[in-house]
A and B are shown apart, each in its own frame.
Chain A
Amino acid sequence: MSEYQPVILPDIPDLDRIDVYEQHGGYQHIRKSLGMAPDDVIGIVKESGLRGRGGAAFPTGLKWSFMPTDGEKPNYLCVNGDESEPGSFKDRQIFEFNPHLMIEGILIAGYALRIKAAYIYIRGEYEKWVQMVEKAVADAYAKGYVGEKMKETFGTDFSCEIYVHRGAGAYICGEESSLMNSIEGIRPYPRVKPPFPAQVGLWGCPTTINNVETIANVPLIIERGADWYKNIGAEKHPGPILYGISGHVNKPGVYELPTGMLLTELIHDVAGGVPGDKKIKMVIPGGSSMPPLRGDQLEGVRMDAESLKEIGSAIGTAGIMVMDEDTDLTRILTRITHFYKVESCGQCTPCREGTGWMLKVFHRLLDGEGEPKDLDLLHSVAKNIEGNTVCALGDAAAWPVKFTIERFRDELEAELSR
């Protein structure tokens, strides 16, 4: 794959500077978009096959087409950069190395969605990146690419504001409806759906929420066309994607490559393999919320939504976590469960109580007081949470436990008897 030329994070020094970005064709794609009808922009994005990079791989063009066009209420766009999922650390590369690509993406999406304002929601701990994005936005305003002045700059009627909003340290704020509540300044409990954000979103107005990386793909699609885009990577889930590879690999990091890469190729070639050439016990392919895979299950698995679904996992945020043969799965699950227990908002019973009980049982196992029937208890609690909560954090908490017990029962029992 060495011939692949990165486009989201291209190898151009100082691309985060607005002048450098402009030299490389920056802010011309919005100009081009403004020459089209908004619905045609949505059409191109639909045609390109772009799917959301925030976790659910939802077709972006389709999502955009849910937005009303009557303008009865203002429309909004939220760009989700809360990036708090363990194993996920790709959006901050965009903040750091190509923030203007995201900003231009916001303007194009904003035009297509007929928005009044966009909010870039950045996780609170990303202080350095918040500052970088704030600077980039300020530069774009200064150059007249954003806000009222863009009417003059581009000679159009369209203009939109961009605000940077920082989170305050809660994973749940990455959930789209929680994120909107957080921007509104109220307690970020996920909202009950329906109504969906495209009907009742931010301040009760139609809203689209997209991941940072999703939005960063948009100017590229406008620039090079839907055909170019849909020929990259996997057929049903095309495009460049940022793989975040971590855990027991020699060269952990974020790699931009086409979707649909072989998981083994990513681990062994791209990320330099497992230290000490140890065997792989477990891989979580899409951030900690996704069902884990066994090391002996990986052959031929490709990193795209369809392939991963087939084998019983999901692409999530393409954050690949590799664990070698010496890894203690009970400890891993305890750590993951601890995360979800702490991050559960507490709104719905199964998630609030269930995560707490699972953690209690895990501590019992770690203390050497567990019995095999505890694994059944864990499995049953996890199953009770799954599909039975207001937001997907419940599933996220349940899946690692449920699937690890199903797929690694032998390992876990062995750990128990140690």
Chain B
Amino acid sequence: MKQHTTRMTLTIDNKTVTADTGASILDVARQNGIDIPTLCWHEQLSPHGGCRMCIVEVEGLSHFPTACTTPAADGMIVRTHTAQIREMRAEILQLFLSEHTASCLVCDEQEECREYMSTVRKAGVTTGCRYCPKDGQCELQAVTESLGVRDIIYPIYYRGIPVETEDPFYDRDYNLCILCGRCVRMCQEVRLADVLAYKHRGRDAIIGPAFARTHLEAGCEFCGACVSVCPTGTLREKARAWEGAPDREEITTCTFCGVGCQVRLLVKEDRIIGSLPADDPTVNQGQLCVKGRFCNTELVNGHQRIRHPYRRENDIAWDVSWDAAFELIAEKLRSSAPERTGMLVSSNLTNEDLYVAQKFMRVVMKTHHIDSTARLFYGSGFSAYLTLMDRAVPLSAIRDASAVLMVGLDTRFSRSVVGVAIRTAMKRGIRMFTLHSREHTFSLNADVWLQPEVGEEYRYVEALVRLAAGEDVTDRSIPADMRVRLADVARALSESDSPVILVGAEFLQYDSSRAFLAAVAQLADHVGAGVLTLPAQNNLYGSLLSGSFPELLPGMRPTADAARLQKLESLWGTSLTGLTDAWNADHLLRDDCAMQFLYAVGALPPVHRGAAKFTVFQNMYPPEPYCSADLVLPTAAATETDGSFLNGERRVQRVRRAVAPPGIALPDWDILCRLARHMGAEGFAFTRPEEIREEMAQVIPGFGEAEIDARGILPLAFDAVMHVSGNGTAQRPPDSDHPFILHSSVVEHTHRGFPLAAWVEGSRILFPEGVLDISAEDARALGLRDGDSVHVSGASFEEIYPVRIVRQQPRGALHASILESALTHPNPQPVSVRKADV
């Protein structure tokens, strides 16, 4: 709807200007190139009027209104830079500076210092004082300079507030804080997270979570939105402090989950120094989660990144050239039977990488043996999960929905931009329901929290299906109060015009996941809901579409699709008949897996040494010690190659190369093309991802350059059948020997097979891998403290875990976050726990 606006005419600094009604004096001034200094104002936030930097003179007013908060009015006469105003601003600024460790701002030596500062790296700190990591990008510095303040009439006063460094990813030095409140408004108004608040009053006022909690305790999502808007060095990113201003920026797509946020990479001297949300109205609306915001920089800059190909034999490793590496692979491949050759890829790779990978296997190796590790993540529910794809709605559907049901989704550290969208919608008054066995971000502020016992989630969804169909809930194992809540939710969903069901990754590894996902699909059909799955693997849908599975050809067609095979044969100029398709990644978990050749591209193969005769490991980081890897090849990170991803909405989005890969590392597609050429294969002459896409476009709709730029949604529906390792073992209740229920879930915070916790320090605290969560009560009863080791045993497995005491964990239930390869069934299962002897 077009708002009816009227224009007004006013005078600013003797200039006659016009503007739409509703604009503030500041808006109008800026629209007309008149600069008014500001500190607390920020374009994303409501005006605050606190710093008073933007005061102006308005004819007829006795006081000096703040331009940022005062609406402009027709006929107003405004003066922004009179001598009196400049002086008042300078005086206010001095009040700030009197408490700021600000010598750098007003030091007499400033001019000379600046000259020598350029040598600061060589000459150490003696030639220049840097008190603040924001030096050079600080808005207080800029305002000080623009107002020409060189002297402070007040004595300098240092508040001596201890710097807070205990939380991951960013530190806080409130000695530098000017209480502009931008961080608070960001956290409260935009993120709607309500972690930050003002504490105390007057001069003792300080920012932080209420009740002296750490950010971690206060539910902070570590989205970094507050850090981004801080005009001073108070809030500082651990990894980016002291880096200074970037040389350039590059917009790309985040690689950490299926939301596919648009990210602004900050580049300095051909190095990524940070990543910020791009101002993207389509997907992330200028927001990111902790992974997109903070994990990327550390991940791509790790000093352990592989730089050269190297050979590994008998625990000895030595560098080899690319040519030598290719020759070695070619030799091994020539002697490897197609049925005993396989390639494991990760669904984190770009569409172009994946397309080339499957083409390599099918054209060069004459086998359909290419599989994504995603299969292991989804286990028995894989097909059921994928069939939800055709019910996908765009993220904007949350904005328009009148009811949202979240199942197994905790948006604190993953997909938190979706959490923001939901909270925004809730503010508008939508009904919000969450189904989750554990306390999580939305358990308190949802309209209804459906809280099943661990492993019983599917029963709740089934009950919703029945209720939505107008039947009664007969399942007496659901407590009465929950049945009332279920009825409420079913009614609201049925009555809602366009409900949305959001499926998280929480229960996907349970043996009940197939039943659970099937029930979700039924429920969606009954109530006419859109379903958003937003997979943990950022390019899961891309890996399906590119054909990186034994069951799927490019275009997501089943391998048996004769027409598609024919089309590919003519496109690739090779015969595709009789290719083997008997192998998939599940086989790698079996004891009898005897591969001759395994090629792991961006994936961490879950095999112990010797499971394959020869393993090529192509990744950003060296393999884990337990991993078989005879040849290790260095690949480019997603920030080091061009390409595209397909997000959970089925939207194709660009990945852009921002920097060069380390050492002689190459992008995955490039390595595979070179290898194919080395082996004399035709059809791998690609030198740029565009060329790959040109070929893809012939079999996959939506891959033309213009279409990719448009970032449209591909109308995909999944109609193939994936082979799943069927177990669905019946769950047993706890007994006296096994009084706890252990539920395991696969860490979704991984990249190219590695848990982020392996290479990103802060994520070790937020989402550790291989730990066992236990409730405080149970820990107390067992005499356990945080970090103690426990011995967990079930009917058919034993494991030692460090424990983490988690308030949210229900009593009697244990939760382990593990890697795909460590998953045991049944899941959940009854176990016993004792403190491990040291």
B179 interface hit (Cβ, 8 Å): yes
Contact between chains at B203 and A384 (CB < 8 Å): no
- Flag the segment in A201-209, A257-265, A309-317, A338-346 that touches B: A338-346
> CA separation between A353 and B203, bound complex, in Å?
6
Using CB atoms, name the residue of chain B closest to A345. Answer: B201
Is A1 among interface residues, defined by CB-CB distance under 8 A?
Answer: no
Say yes or no: B48 contacts A187, CB within 8 Å: no
B201 x A172 contact (CB < 8 A): yes
- Judge if B153 is at the interface, Cβ distance under 8 Å: yes
A350 touches B203 (CB 8 A): no
> Is there contact, CB below 8 Å, between A192 and B62?
no
A-B contact pairs, 14 of them (CB 8 A): A187-B197, A342-B202, A346-B200, A346-B201, A347-B179, A349-B50, A350-B92, A353-B95, A353-B203, A354-B95, A357-B95, A384-B91, A388-B52, A388-B64
Q: Let me know if B4 is at the binding interface, CB within 8 A.
A: no
* B198 & A349 in contact (Cβ 8 Å cutoff): no
In the assembled complex, which residues on chain A have CB atoms less than 8 Å from the CB atom of B198? 187, 189, 346
Interface flag for A352 (CB, 8 Å): yes
B55 sits at the interface (CB 8 A): yes
B179-A380 in contact (CB<8A)? no
- Smallest beta-carbon distance A398→chain B, Å: 12
| A387 in the interface (beta carbon within 8 A) | yes
**Interface bits B25-66 vs A (CB < 8 Å: 1, else 0):** 000000000000000000000011111100100000011101
List 19 additional contacts besides A388-B55, A388-B88, A390-B50; criterion CB under 8 Å: A341-B202, A342-B201, A345-B201, A345-B202, A346-B179, A346-B203, A346-B204, A347-B48, A348-B52, A349-B51, A349-B178, A352-B203, A352-B205, A354-B95, A356-B203, A357-B95, A384-B88, A384-B91, A384-B95
Q: How far is the CB of B230 from chain A (nearest CB, A)?
A: 16
Most chain B CB atoms below 10 A, which of A343, A353, A387: A353
A348 B63 Cβ-Cβ under 8 A: no
Contacts of A154-184 to chain B: CB distance below 8 A: 170, 172
The answer to whether residues A389 and B52 also contact, given A172-B201, A352-B179 and a CB cut-off of 8 A, is yes
Contact with A along B186-210 (1 / 0, CB 8 A): 0000000000011011111100000
> Among B96, B153, B200, which residue has its beta carbon within 8 angstroms of that of A353?
B96
Q: A200 → chain B, closest Cβ, in Å?
A: 12
Identify the closest chain B residue to A393 (Cβ): B202
Measured CB to CB, the closest approach of chain B to A269, in angstroms, equals 37
Say yes or no: A341 contacts B52, CB within 8 Å. Answer: no
A377 within 8 A of B: yes
Contact of A192 among B49, B95, B99, B153 (CB under 8 A): B49
Q: Which of A192, A356, A387 is close to B63, meaning CB atoms less than 8 Å apart?
A: A387
Contact mask B83-103 → A, CB, 8 Å, 1/0? 000001001100110110000
Name A191's closest neighbour in chain B (CB-CB). B49
Known: A353-B95, A354-B95. A388 touches B63 (CB 8 A): yes
- Of B50, B62, B70, B154, the most chain A CB neighbours within 10 A belong to B50
Give the complex CA separation of A344 and B181 in angstroms. 16
Rounded to whole Å, the gap between the CB of B746 and the closest CB of chain A is 41
Q: Which residues of A contact B51 (CB under 8 A)?
A: 348-349
Chain A proximity mask over B548-591: 1 for CB below 8 Å, otherwise 0: 00000000000000000000000000000000000000000000
Which B residues lie within 8 Å of A377 (CB)? 153
**Closest Cβ of chain A: how far from B467's Cβ, in Å?**
35
Contact of A390 among B49, B91, B99, B197 (CB under 8 A): B49
B71 part of interface (Cβ distance < 8 Å)? yes
Cα A347 to Cα B179 in complex, Å, equals 8
**In the bound complex, CA of A346 to CA of B178 (Å):** 11
| Complex-state Cα separation, A19 to B200, whole angstroms | 45
In angstroms, Cα B69 to Cα A354, docked, is 22
Q: Is A13 engaged at the interface, CB distance under 8 Å to the other chain?
A: no
Q: How many residues of B contact A (CB 8 A)?
A: 34
B interface, CB within 8 angstroms of A? 47-52, 55, 62-64, 66, 69-71, 88, 91-92, 95-96, 98-99, 153-154, 178-179, 181, 197-198, 200-205
A170–B203 CB distance below 8 A: no
List residues of chain A with CB within 8 A of the CB of B71.
194
**Residues in B whose Cβ lies below 8 Å from that of A390:** 49-50
Q: A343 to B92, alpha carbons, bound, how many Å?
A: 20
Q: Return B336 CB to nearest CB of chain A, in Å.
A: 68
Of the four ranges (under 10, 10 to 19, 20 to 34, 35 or more), the interface on chain A belongs to: 20 to 34
Which residues of B are found within 8 Å of A387, using beta-carbon distances? Answer: 62-64
Chain A residues whose CB sits within 8 angstroms of the CB of B200 once the complex forms: 346
Taken together as a complex, chains A and B put the C-alpha atoms of A367 and B200 apart, in Å, by 28
Contact between A353 and B50, CB atoms less than 8 A apart: no
B99 contacts across to A, CB distance below 8 A? 353
Q: Which of A341-386 contact B (CB under 8 A)?
A: 341-350, 352-357, 377, 380, 384
Task: Give Cα distance in the complex from A322 to B431, angstroms.
Answer: 60
Q: How far is the CA of A187 from the CA of B181 in the complex (A)?
A: 13
Closest CB of chain A to B196's CB: distance in Å?
A: 11
B55 and A192 contacting across the interface, CB-CB below 8 Å: no
CA distance in complex: A354, B181 (Å)? 18
Interchain CB contact under 8 A, A384 and B204: no
Contact partners of B154 in chain A: CB under 8 A:
357
Q: Are A192 and B202 in contact (CB under 8 A)?
A: no
In the bound assembly, the distance between CA atoms of A387 and B198 in angstroms comes to 24
**Minimal beta-carbon separation of B828 from chain A (angstroms):** 41
Contact A341 B203 (CB under 8 A): yes
A345 to B197, CA, bound (A): 13
CB closest residue in chain B, given A195: B71
A349, B96: Cβ atoms closer than 8 Å: yes
Are the CB atoms of A192 and B48 closer together than 8 Å?
yes
Q: Would you call A346 and B205 a contact (CB within 8 A)?
A: yes
Across the A-B interface, the 7 shortest Cβ-Cβ residue pairs? A346-B205, A353-B95, A387-B63, A344-B202, A356-B203, A192-B49, A192-B69
List A contacts of B91 (CB < 8 A).
Answer: 380, 384
A345–B200 alpha-carbon span in the complex (Å):
8
Residue of A nearest to B71 (CB): A194
Contact B52 A349 (CB under 8 A): yes
> Taking the nearest CB of chain B, how far is it from the CB of A69, in angstroms?
23
A140 to B64, CA, bound (A): 46
Q: Which residues of A contact B92 (CB under 8 A)?
A: 349-350, 384, 388
Do A349 and B47 have beta carbons less than 8 Å apart?
A: no
Name the residue on B nearest A395 (C-beta). Answer: B63
- Determine whether the beta carbon of B95 is less than 8 Å from that of A349: yes
Q: List residues of chain A with CB within 8 A of the CB of B179.
A: 346-347, 349, 352
For the complex, give the distance between the alpha carbons of A349 and B55 in Å. Answer: 12
Q: Which of A343, A346, A350, A380 is within 8 Å of B52, CB to CB?
A: A350
Residues of chain A within 8 A of B55, CB atoms compared? 388
B205 contact set on A, CB distance < 8 A:
345-347, 352
Q: Which residue of A lies closest to B200 (CB)?
A: A346
Residue of B nearest to A380 (CB): B91
CA distance A170 to B202 in the complex (A): 11
Bound together, the chains give a CA A341 to CA B200 distance in angstroms of: 12
Instruction: List A contacts of B64 (CB < 8 A).
Output: 387-388
Q: How far is the CA of A213 from the CA of B88 in the complex (A)?
A: 38
Contacts of B52 in A (CB 8 A): 348-350, 388-389
B residues in contact with A189, CB < 8 Å = 198
